[in-house]
Amino acid sequence: MRTQVAIIGAGPAGLLLSHLLHLDGIESIVIETRSRADIEATIRAGVLEQGTMDILTESGVGERMRGQGALHHGFELAFGGKRHRIDLTGLTGKAITVYPQHEVIKDLVAARLAADGQILFEVSEVALHGVDTQTPSATFMHGGEARSIEADFVIGCDGYHGVSRPAMPAQEQRKNFQRIYPFGWFGILVESAPSSEELIYAQHDRGFALVSTRSPTVQRLYFQCDPTDHVDNWSDDQIWSELHARLENHDGWRLKEGRIFQKNIIGMRSFVSTPMQAGRLFLAGDSAHIVPPTGAKGMNLAVSDVKLLARGLEQFYRQGSEERLASYSDDALKRIWRAEYFSWTMTRLLHTFAEATPFEREMQRAELENIVTSRAMATALAENYVGAF
């Protein structure tokens, strides 16, 4: 097969890039190791910044997001037995939408297939070749047959464990920045009415907790845990007891319970690999960077990467210029490092660190008090949260 852009990975980054390129008249083929059913059923959080909402809407794939997503104009910080609202719209003029990542994927898959876009699911043995030449290619198995794609560019959107980043030339010269956090999140999906109209981020001596709405009947809840723990070690009663202890406050508000139908534990890390390009191979999304979910930046960073790549590829094919593509890493990393900083700050601010001294815990509480009493500090947090930069 021959195409202009070969895209490795059918996550939000790869699918959105393929969609945006199609709108610009640029051909692409997407290959994905999982099945369509798998990528559309893998439930992940989705807090969409205003800029992400705008891109989905402007590119024609935002109808379900607008109809089914929950538009939030603020969120709450809970600590010391009280809840404090951060007025995102009042402080920044922008809002966020809670719309799960797998729903975004459904919208993008539907759009690509409606436009006769090529997505090859359930491929295996993917390998990249000649990425430092003008004719890069990808080989793989599909339907029991060996296949290949020749392209002008290869875009790696296949995540942290994918083949794209290891295929970068000069691996010994790469710089990887990483922090592994000593805790994870225990996540549950619950059949219940919402406990709150907006997200609640709670700091507690027992550890962090988060209330997130999925729909009028399904809620997503998390609490800080040992990343080596196992969901089978927690009964439903123990889970609810822990969430009640960390979330409830002095005003009588009470968390609503329901049937827990999914449990999982996710580890947490901060990670950046540079550069994000080499020859005709470019990385986007989790292939190049990961943020802890506390800052709600993961999918938004992937969309930001893709927006830059789409503009660069459009310039290449329309004007014959590689100026934007040449500056892709530098341009993307400006946003990435700011998001890494914010996600690290939120993680440090809201989680309980076992090694923290009593002094450090008081400083953590003082910083939270400063945020909720200072408009300037609340504005800085809100700007970072909605991506107003």
**Residue 213: per-residue pLDDT:** 77
Kindly tell me if the per-residue pLDDT of 45 is higher than 80: no
What are 198's two structure tokens? 């907006």
Band of residue 325 on the pLDDT scale cut at 50, 70, 90: very high
Q: What is the 3-state secondary structure (H, E, C) of 226-255?
A: CCCCCHHHCCHHHHHHHHHHHHCCCCCCCC
Closest among 293, 211, 226, 224 to 258, alpha carbons compared: 211
Cα dihedral sign for 233, 236, 238, 239?
Answer: positive
Within 8 A by CB and 6+ apart from 159, the residues are 9, 11, 285, 286, 287
Instruction: Say which of 19, 72, 204, 289 is annotated catalytic.
Output: 72
Cα dihedral sign for 13, 15, 18, 21?
Answer: negative
pLDDT in tens, 189-229: 999 999 998 999 999 999 999 998 777 888 899 999 999 99
Instruction: Say which of 94, 204, 297, 351 is annotated catalytic.
Output: 297
Kindly tell me if the per-residue pLDDT of 366 is higher than 90: yes
Instruction: Say which of 201, 222, 289, 307 is annotated catalytic.
Output: 201
Q: What is the mean pLDDT of residues 4-13?
A: 97
Instruction: Say which of 293, 307, 328, 351 is annotated catalytic.
Output: 293
State the Cα–Cα distance between residues 380 and 115, nearest whole angstrom.
41
Closest among 127, 212, 137, 118 to 163, alpha carbons compared: 127
pTM of the predicted model, to two decimals? Answer: 0.94
**Residue 389: per-residue pLDDT:** 59
Band of residue 316 on the pLDDT scale cut at 50, 70, 90: very high
Report the DSSP beta bridge partners of residue 5. 28, 153
Q: What is the mean pLDDT of residues 57-63?
A: 96
Check: CB of residue 202 under 8 Å from CB of residue 191. Answer: no
Cα dihedral sign for 137, 140, 145, 146?
Answer: positive
- CA distances 9 to 57, 211, 349, Å, are 22, 30, 34
Q: What is the mean pLDDT of residues 320-345?
A: 97
Whether residue 307 lies in the annotated active site: no
Closest among 155, 148, 179, 125 to 291, alpha carbons compared: 179
Query: DSSP letters along 12-56, please?
Result: HHHHHHHHHHHHTT--EEEE-SS-HHHHHH-----EE-HHHHHHH
Check: CB of residue 162 under 8 Å from CB of residue 15. Answer: no
Whether residue 293 lies in the annotated active site: yes
Whether residue 12 lies in the annotated active site: no
State the Cα–Cα distance between residues 123 and 126, nearest whole angstrom.
7
What are 82's two structure tokens? 């009280």
**Residue 216: per-residue pLDDT:** 82
State the Cα–Cα distance between residues 80 and 202, nearest whole angstrom.
9
Check: CB of residue 186 under 8 Å from CB of residue 225. Answer: yes
- CA distances 170 to 166, 189, 279, 286, Å, are 10, 43, 11, 20
pLDDT in tens, 63-76: 999 999 989 999 99
Summary mean pLDDT of the chain: 95
Kindly tell me if the per-residue pLDDT of 388 is higher than 80: no
What are 32's two structure tokens? 């994905």
pLDDT in tens, 75-102: 999 999 999 999 999 999 999 999 989 9
Band of residue 170 on the pLDDT scale cut at 50, 70, 90: confident
Q: Of all helices (H) and strands (E), which one includes residue 126?
A: strand 124-129
Lowest mean pLDDT among 214-223, 260-269, 349-358, 373-382: 214-223
pLDDT in tens, 125-169: 999 999 999 999 999 999 999 999 999 999 999 999 999 999 998
State the Cα–Cα distance between residues 149 and 152, nearest whole angstrom.
10
Kindly tell me if the per-residue pLDDT of 319 is higher than 70: yes
**Residue 245: per-residue pLDDT:** 94
Q: What is the mean pLDDT of residues 281-295?
A: 96
**Residue 163: per-residue pLDDT:** 97
Kindly tell me if the per-residue pLDDT of 43 is higher than 90: no
Lowest mean pLDDT among 213-217, 227-231, 247-251, 347-351: 213-217
**Residue 109: per-residue pLDDT:** 97
Give the whole-number percent of the chain exceeding pLDDT 70. 99
State the Cα–Cα distance between residues 168 and 288, nearest whole angstrom.
11
**Residue 252: per-residue pLDDT:** 82
Instruction: Say which of 99, 181, 328, 385 is annotated catalytic.
Output: 385
Whether residue 161 lies in the annotated active site: no
- Note the Cα 336 to chain centre separation in Å: 12
**Residue 215: per-residue pLDDT:** 76
Q: What is the mean pLDDT of residues 38-52?
A: 87
Whether residue 297 lies in the annotated active site: yes
Within 8 A by CB and 6+ apart from 302, the residues are 11, 12, 13, 16, 157, 284, 285, 286
